[in-house]
Amino acid sequence: MIQIDRHLSVVTILLGVLLVPAATRAQGSPAAGEQTPAVEAQSATLPPPPPAELLPSAAPTPTQPDKPAGLDFEFFGAENASGADTNSTEKIANASALSQKRRHRLETHQLLGLTTWAFMAASCIIGQLNYHDLYGGGSGRGSYMMPHRLLVYSTAGLFTATGIYALLAPQPYKKPLKFDTGLIHRIAAIGATAGMVAEVVLGFITARTADSGNSSGIKQMATVHDVVGWTTFGFMTAAGAAWIF
């Protein structure tokens, strides 16, 4: 009886030793039904993969520069270009304003010149009549002296105003000097100016000499005055013709 109990105790111990590790492994491993929800929950939290079109390429294509590399630098290129455009616009505006002013003054110069030419013609005609009256066998009464003086003074004043308008006309651009009608007009105007100054001086001297009663050489001075007057009128005619034609 004692031997049977011993055999049962030994068998019980052996069964316990064999069954305890298996029960422990069974408790540690999850059930088969519980693994699927965990995997599904993990896959649900992951973001979807991006489309293939949005994926960056492995080797991006380098962009080509606008200009080839080199030493051709353009510092402040845009600013310089805008400054040049501004300067050009200002120059064009200034040249246009000067051209309009020049045109107005030269038109006035032309009108005064033609008026001066008419007064000069009348001065020469009346002066010639005065010369014949005093020194060419005329009556000697001096009937043409006062009209001649008034015409000479008026002609001198008009000639001065005509020259001033020509000198004050602005020059919007440089004009090369060449032989043309403009150069002929200038040469004739210079000759007319010299003749006008000489005419006034000779006329004044001749008149004062005649008023003082000194007849010595007065006819020669009157003759020179007459010749210079017609020469001045010729220069003025040439200047006007060159300007008009």
**Bigger pLDDT: 131 or 49?**
131
Residue type, 11: V
* Distance separating alpha carbons of residues 134 and 203, to the nearest angstrom: 14
On average, the pLDDT of the chain sits at 75
**Bigger pLDDT: 211 or 222?**
222
Long-range pairs for 141-145: beta carbons < 8 A, 24 or more residues apart:
145/207
* Distance separating alpha carbons of residues 165 and 104, to the nearest angstrom: 10
Q: What's the 3-state SS for 119-156?
A: HHHHHHHHHHHHHHHHHCCCCCCCCCHHHHHHHHHHHH
Cα-based angle 90, 91, 96 (whole degrees, multiple of 5): 100
Domain boundaries, the chain: 100-169+179-244
* Distance separating alpha carbons of residues 105 and 92, to the nearest angstrom: 20
Taking only the tens place, the pLDDT of each residue in 48-70 is 555 554 444 544 555 555 544 44
Longest dimension (CA), the chain: 204
Residue 109: per-residue pLDDT: 93
Could you tell me if 135 and 222 are in contact, meaning their C-beta atoms sit under 8 angstroms apart? yes
